[in-house]
A = this chain, B = another copy of it.
Amino acid sequence: MKIVVAVGGSIIIKENSHEKFKDYADVLRSMNDEHKLFIVVGGGKPAREYIGIARDLGVSEAACDDIGIDVTRLNAKLLIMALGEDAYPKVAKNFHEAMEFSVSGKIVVMGGTEPAHSTDAVSSILAEFVNADLLINATSVDGLYDKDPNKHDDAKMFEKITPAEMMSILSSKETKAGTYEFFDSTAIQIIKRSKIKTRIVNGNHAENIQKAVSSEIGTTIVHD
């Protein structure tokens, strides 16, 4: 199966620890024989810190995005290091490179691509570009909720949701570099137009990536 995995930066790079990189590498390596894997890594805390400095310097939001993208590529490089010989040794900078690198049969790892594209958007476009059979989105909570579950006790997780429902939830929200919602509108539209099978899972446990391949954990985006 061809699988694209998006791993939020806040999941994989924690307190300057290498452990989540190692966990993810172990799980992905075990999946590599059976599946063709593409991983998109987010920026997390270091990205927010660099974006913070950039914003204090008064640069544009696009420039803030831009330095955030550089940090996602640093994180992607760490995952490549953790994967060792199983990964293609270079971070893919765009979708063309991801396609090229995958010819090697190695796991392809990338970060962001360009301003105004969140990790969600990048992973959904990548899934479309490579005709992935499954898109797995690893976030810091168990799935997609109707409101932020860290702030609201009554937040309700969707087991299934359609892109149209997602769009209506997202409407009237603001986009600011480094503080994207679970899914920006671009990602949803891509998933919708190509009916990409998508699962949003709790990425704090790397093994959920493997589980998401066969079982319906977390939130599954369904198409009519």
Contact = CB atoms under 8 A, between A and B. Distances in A.
Contacts of A73: 70
A129 B67 CA distance: 12
A99 interface: yes
A129 B115 contact: yes
Interface string A78-109: 10011000001110001110011001101000
A78 B53 contact: yes
Nearest to A93: B94
Contact of A185 (B21, B50, B186): B186
A41 to B, nearest CB: 13
B129 A125 contact: no
Contacts of A104: 103-104
Nearest to A106: B103
Interface stretch (A142-150, A189-197, A206-214): A189-197
A167 B168 CA distance: 12
A89 B78 contact: no
Main SS of chain A's interface residues?
helix
A113 to B, nearest CB: 6
A114 interface: yes
Contacts of A54: 18, 78, 81
B99 A62 contact: no
A35 B22 CA distance: 28
Nearest to A132: B60
B63 A67 contact: no
A191 to B, nearest CB: 11
A81 B62 contact: no
A103 B89 contact: yes
A215 interface: no
Contact of A66 (B62, B117, B129, B171): B129
Contacts of A71: 74
A1 interface: no
